[in-house]
Amino acid sequence: MAENKEKLGLFFPTPIQVSEIAGAAQLNERLLAATEELMRTTANKVPDGWSCDLYTTIRTADQLHEHPGFRELTPHIYSEATKLVHALKLDVATYPLKITSCWINVYGKTHAQEVHNHANNVLSGVYYVQVPPGAPGIMFHSPMSDLMFRPPSRELNALNLMSFTHPARSGEMVLFRSFVRHSVPPNQVD
Protein backbone atom coordinates (compact mmCIF):
# COMPACT_ATOMS: atom_id res chain seq x y z
CA MET A 1 0.00 0.00 0.00
CA ALA A 2 1.36 3.44 -0.96
CA GLU A 3 1.97 5.91 1.83
CA ASN A 4 0.45 9.40 1.61
CA LYS A 5 2.94 12.23 1.53
CA GLU A 6 1.98 15.59 2.91
CA LYS A 7 3.61 18.94 3.43
CA LEU A 8 2.50 21.81 5.58
CA GLY A 9 3.40 25.14 4.02
CA LEU A 10 3.42 28.41 5.88
CA PHE A 11 2.20 31.19 3.61
CA PHE A 12 1.51 34.78 4.66
CA PRO A 13 3.31 34.54 8.01
CA THR A 14 3.40 37.57 10.30
CA PRO A 15 7.02 38.31 11.20
CA ILE A 16 7.50 40.35 14.36
CA GLN A 17 11.06 41.33 15.24
CA VAL A 18 11.94 42.08 18.86
CA SER A 19 15.34 43.64 19.61
CA GLU A 20 17.00 44.67 22.83
CA ILE A 21 18.81 47.95 22.18
CA ALA A 22 22.40 48.12 23.43
CA GLY A 23 22.96 50.85 26.00
CA ALA A 24 19.21 51.25 26.47
CA ALA A 25 19.35 52.33 30.14
CA GLN A 26 21.42 55.43 29.37
CA LEU A 27 19.57 56.10 26.12
CA ASN A 28 16.23 55.85 27.91
CA GLU A 29 17.28 58.37 30.56
CA ARG A 30 17.96 60.91 27.82
CA LEU A 31 14.79 60.01 25.91
CA LEU A 32 12.70 60.32 29.07
CA ALA A 33 14.11 63.81 29.72
CA ALA A 34 13.39 64.76 26.10
CA THR A 35 9.85 63.38 26.44
CA GLU A 36 9.21 65.37 29.62
CA GLU A 37 10.46 68.54 27.88
CA LEU A 38 8.27 67.80 24.86
CA MET A 39 5.22 67.33 27.09
CA ARG A 40 5.89 70.79 28.60
CA THR A 41 6.32 72.51 25.23
CA THR A 42 4.22 70.61 22.69
CA ALA A 43 0.44 70.46 22.74
CA ASN A 44 -1.38 67.16 23.03
CA LYS A 45 -3.56 66.60 19.97
CA VAL A 46 -5.39 63.30 20.14
CA PRO A 47 -6.79 62.48 16.68
CA ASP A 48 -10.54 62.34 16.20
CA GLY A 49 -11.85 58.87 16.86
CA TRP A 50 -9.31 57.90 19.50
CA SER A 51 -11.16 56.76 22.60
CA CYS A 52 -8.70 57.93 25.27
CA ASP A 53 -6.86 61.07 26.21
CA LEU A 54 -3.29 59.77 26.25
CA TYR A 55 -0.52 62.25 25.49
CA THR A 56 0.57 61.90 21.86
CA THR A 57 2.52 63.96 19.36
CA ILE A 58 1.09 62.16 16.33
CA ARG A 59 -0.58 65.41 15.17
CA THR A 60 1.80 67.99 16.67
CA ALA A 61 5.35 66.58 16.38
CA ASP A 62 5.50 63.48 14.18
CA GLN A 63 9.10 63.90 12.99
CA LEU A 64 10.79 63.15 16.30
CA HIS A 65 13.56 61.21 14.55
CA GLU A 66 14.81 64.66 13.47
CA HIS A 67 14.30 66.32 16.89
CA PRO A 68 17.55 66.92 18.85
CA GLY A 69 16.25 65.11 21.94
CA PHE A 70 15.26 61.98 20.00
CA ARG A 71 17.73 61.93 17.12
CA GLU A 72 20.06 59.40 18.79
CA LEU A 73 17.30 56.77 18.53
CA THR A 74 17.28 57.09 14.72
CA PRO A 75 20.39 54.92 14.03
CA HIS A 76 18.89 52.17 16.19
CA ILE A 77 15.65 52.33 14.19
CA TYR A 78 17.52 52.06 10.89
CA SER A 79 19.78 49.29 12.16
CA GLU A 80 16.91 47.12 13.37
CA ALA A 81 14.69 47.91 10.37
CA THR A 82 17.54 46.93 8.04
CA LYS A 83 17.73 43.52 9.70
CA LEU A 84 14.01 42.98 9.20
CA VAL A 85 13.89 44.12 5.56
CA HIS A 86 16.82 41.84 4.75
CA ALA A 87 15.00 38.90 6.35
CA LEU A 88 11.93 39.85 4.28
CA LYS A 89 14.10 40.11 1.14
CA LEU A 90 12.78 43.60 0.35
CA ASP A 91 14.60 45.65 -2.29
CA VAL A 92 16.10 48.46 -0.21
CA ALA A 93 18.84 49.05 -2.79
CA THR A 94 16.25 50.43 -5.21
CA TYR A 95 13.86 51.71 -2.55
CA PRO A 96 15.92 52.79 0.47
CA LEU A 97 14.49 52.83 3.97
CA LYS A 98 13.02 56.15 5.03
CA ILE A 99 11.32 57.13 8.27
CA THR A 100 8.07 58.86 7.32
CA SER A 101 6.92 59.68 10.83
CA CYS A 102 7.93 59.14 14.44
CA TRP A 103 5.97 60.26 17.48
CA ILE A 104 5.49 59.44 21.15
CA ASN A 105 2.52 58.11 23.05
CA VAL A 106 2.44 58.34 26.84
CA TYR A 107 -0.12 56.02 28.38
CA GLY A 108 -1.62 56.77 31.79
CA LYS A 109 -3.99 54.67 33.82
CA THR A 110 -7.02 53.45 31.76
CA HIS A 111 -5.45 54.55 28.46
CA ALA A 112 -5.57 52.16 25.52
CA GLN A 113 -5.21 52.20 21.75
CA GLU A 114 -7.79 50.87 19.33
CA VAL A 115 -7.04 48.21 16.74
CA HIS A 116 -5.39 49.86 13.75
CA ASN A 117 -2.65 49.55 11.16
CA HIS A 118 -0.42 52.06 9.38
CA ALA A 119 -1.52 52.32 5.76
CA ASN A 120 0.93 53.37 3.05
CA ASN A 121 3.99 52.26 5.02
CA VAL A 122 6.18 49.17 4.89
CA LEU A 123 7.33 48.77 8.51
CA SER A 124 5.99 50.04 11.80
CA GLY A 125 7.29 49.68 15.28
CA VAL A 126 7.45 50.74 18.86
CA TYR A 127 10.35 51.49 21.16
CA TYR A 128 9.70 51.31 24.90
CA VAL A 129 11.43 54.00 26.95
CA GLN A 130 9.82 53.50 30.35
CA VAL A 131 7.52 50.64 31.28
CA PRO A 132 6.18 50.31 34.83
CA PRO A 133 5.44 46.78 36.09
CA GLY A 134 2.01 45.62 34.95
CA ALA A 135 1.81 47.93 31.92
CA PRO A 136 0.21 46.32 28.85
CA GLY A 137 2.22 45.33 25.82
CA ILE A 138 1.32 45.56 22.17
CA MET A 139 -1.39 43.22 20.92
CA PHE A 140 -1.19 41.88 17.38
CA HIS A 141 -4.37 40.74 15.63
CA SER A 142 -4.67 38.01 13.03
CA PRO A 143 -6.29 39.03 9.74
CA MET A 144 -8.67 36.13 10.44
CA SER A 145 -9.88 37.78 13.65
CA ASP A 146 -12.61 39.56 11.68
CA LEU A 147 -14.21 36.27 10.65
CA MET A 148 -17.67 35.73 12.06
CA PHE A 149 -17.03 32.11 12.94
CA ARG A 150 -14.05 30.83 14.89
CA PRO A 151 -13.94 27.08 15.22
CA PRO A 152 -13.02 25.77 18.66
CA SER A 153 -9.39 24.77 19.12
CA ARG A 154 -8.07 21.94 21.25
CA GLU A 155 -4.87 23.91 21.78
CA LEU A 156 -3.80 27.44 20.88
CA ASN A 157 -0.63 27.84 18.86
CA ALA A 158 0.93 30.20 16.30
CA LEU A 159 -1.22 28.69 13.53
CA ASN A 160 -4.62 29.34 15.14
CA LEU A 161 -4.25 32.35 17.46
CA MET A 162 -6.56 35.29 16.77
CA SER A 163 -4.34 37.69 18.74
CA PHE A 164 -1.04 37.73 20.54
CA THR A 165 0.27 40.23 23.10
CA HIS A 166 3.97 40.92 23.27
CA PRO A 167 4.88 42.33 26.69
CA ALA A 168 6.25 45.87 26.90
CA ARG A 169 9.86 46.01 28.14
CA SER A 170 12.00 49.12 28.54
CA GLY A 171 14.79 49.16 25.98
CA GLU A 172 13.03 46.90 23.48
CA MET A 173 12.12 47.74 19.91
CA VAL A 174 9.33 45.78 18.25
CA LEU A 175 9.10 45.99 14.44
CA PHE A 176 6.48 44.52 12.13
CA ARG A 177 4.90 45.01 8.71
CA SER A 178 2.64 48.07 8.70
CA PHE A 179 -0.42 46.18 7.47
CA VAL A 180 -0.48 44.13 10.70
CA ARG A 181 -3.36 45.23 12.88
CA HIS A 182 -2.31 46.04 16.42
CA SER A 183 -3.60 47.68 19.58
CA VAL A 184 -2.70 48.43 23.19
CA PRO A 185 -5.00 46.91 25.84
CA PRO A 186 -6.23 49.21 28.65
CA ASN A 187 -3.45 50.22 31.00
CA GLN A 188 -4.15 49.35 34.62
CA VAL A 189 -1.14 51.09 36.21
CA ASP A 190 -0.08 54.69 36.78
| pLDDT tens digits, 129-176 | 999 999 999 999 998 877 767 788 899 888 888 899 999 999 999 999
What is the reported pLDDT for 160?
86
- pLDDT per residue rounded down to tens, the chain (190 residues): 778 888 888 888 899 999 999 999 999 999 999 999 999 999 999 998 888 889 999 999 999 999 999 999 999 999 999 999 999 999 999 999 999 999 999 999 999 999 999 999 999 999 999 999 999 999 999 988 777 677 888 998 888 888 999 999 999 999 999 999 999 999 999 8
What is the reported pLDDT for 3?
82
DSSP string, the chain: -PPP-------S---EEEEEPTTHHHHHHHHHHHHHHHHHHS---PPTT-SS--EE-TTT--BGGGSTTTGGGHHHHHHHHHHHHHHTT--TTTS------B--EE--TT--EEEE--TT-SEEEEE-S---TT---EEEE-GGGG-S-----SS--TTT-SEEEEPP-TTEEEEEETTSEEEEPPP---
CB atoms within 10 A of CB 142: 16
Q: Note whether 129 and 170 are within 8 A (CB).
A: yes
Cα(178)–Cα(102) distance, integer angstroms: 14
Per the confidence metrics, is the pTM higher than 0.95? no
